[in-house]
Every structure is written in structure tokens, then in C-alpha cells.
């Protein structure tokens, strides 16, 4: 069961990583200052979190006999999926020199109308899968 959860987790992480630029692209318009819009940086963040989930799920697959790593991978996957919802919506501010993560103000832009609804569904699936994985891990005693 742990192997199945890790495989599905890796697949969901891959879908999450591909969402902002290939499956449901964020806005392609440039900001008034000539640089990318906030949603572009949010897309980078979401793709990065998806990659983290994939890498940890693959490591959990390789370390099948060690339950503590699967638990750690599940906890990090839950945190990454929740961060994919909170950072673009501005709940957790993430900004640097000249860039900021966020979404466009117009609800008809691709980032709000297409990308984030899909990211919400994928993130919810990742959280649900990993909560089930953690429960099964603790019930079976594979801490």
C-alpha cells in the first residue's frame, strides 16, 4: 500500500508541476513595467512545489522498508500542497527584489479562471492521499 501511495503521490506531484505552464498555463501577458506578472512567479512556485513532491515520492519509493521517510515525505507533500494554495492567494506573502507571487486582479485572467481551480483540485487530492497514507502508516505501525 505504501508503494501505491508513493506512486500516486509522484504522479500527482508531476501533474501539479506541469499545471502552471503546460496543462493550464498562467497569464502570458507582461506587466506594465515590462516584466512578468505576479502569476508567472506563482506558477514557478507551484511548479517547484510539484517537483519537490515528485522527488520525495521517488525517494520514498526507493526506501520502501523505512517507514519514517514515507511519513516525512507525506508531511512535506501536505505542506507543499497547502503552500500552493496559500502563496498565490497572498495568505503567505512571498516576494523578492522586483518580483512577487500572487494572482492577477482580474477574475477573467487565465491564472484565476483556469490555473488556480485546477491547482486547488490537485492540491486537495495530494492532501487527501497523504492524510490517508499517514493514517494507514500509523495504523499498521510503520512509523
In a domain, 53, yes or no: yes
Question: How much is the pTM?
Answer: 0.91
In a domain, 29, yes or no: no
pLDDT of residue 117: 96
Q: Which residues of 1-139 form beta strands (DSSP E)?
A: 95-96, 99-100
Q: What letter does residue 35 receive in the DSSP assignment? A: S
d(CA 129, CA 6): 9
pLDDT value of residue 98: 80
Domain assignment of residue 28, yes or no: no
**Torsion angle of the four alpha carbons 129, 21, 37, 126, in this order, in degrees rounded to the nearest 10:** 0
Count: domains in the chain:
1
Closest by Cα among 75, 97, 100 to 9 = 75
Q: Are 52 and 68 in contact (CB under 8 A)?
A: no
Domain housing 120 = 2-22+35-140
pLDDT of residue 66: 66
How many Cα atoms within 13 Å fall on the side-chain side of residue 1? 13
Q: Is residue 27 part of a domain?
A: no
Which portions of the chain are predicted below pLDDT 50? 143
Residue 13 Ramachandran class (φ > 0 left, ψ -120 to 50 alpha, else beta)? alpha
Q: Does residue 9 form part of some domain?
A: yes
- Rounded Cα distance between 31 and 87, Å, is 19
Q: What pLDDT does residue 45 have?
A: 96
Q: What is the pLDDT of residue 32?
A: 81
Amino acid at each position: 500500500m505504501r508503494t501505491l501511495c508513493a506512486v500516486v503521490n509522484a504522479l500527482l506531484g508531476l501533474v501539479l508541476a506541469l499545471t502552471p505552464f503546460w496543462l493550464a498555463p498562467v497569464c502570458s501577458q507582461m506587466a506594465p513595467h515590462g516584466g512578468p506578472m505576479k502569476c508567472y512567479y506563482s506558477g514557478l512556485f507551484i511548479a517547484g512545489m510539484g517537483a519537490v513532491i515528485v522527488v520525495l515520492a521517488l525517494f520514498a519509493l526507493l526506501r520502501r522498508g523505512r517507514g519514517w521517510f514515507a511519513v516525512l515525505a507525506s508531511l512535506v507533500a501536505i505542506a507543499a500542497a497547502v503552500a500552493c494554495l496559500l502563496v498565490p492567494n497572498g495568505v503567505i506573502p512571498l516576494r523578492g527584489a522586483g518580483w512577487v507571487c500572487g494572482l492577477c486582479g482580474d477574475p477573467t485572467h487565465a491564472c484565476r479562471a483556469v490555473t488556480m481551480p485546477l491547482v486547488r483540485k490537485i492540491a486537495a487530492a495530494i492532501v487527501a492521499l497523504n492524510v490517508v497514507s499517514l493514517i494507514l502508516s500509523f495504523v499498521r505501525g510503520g512509523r
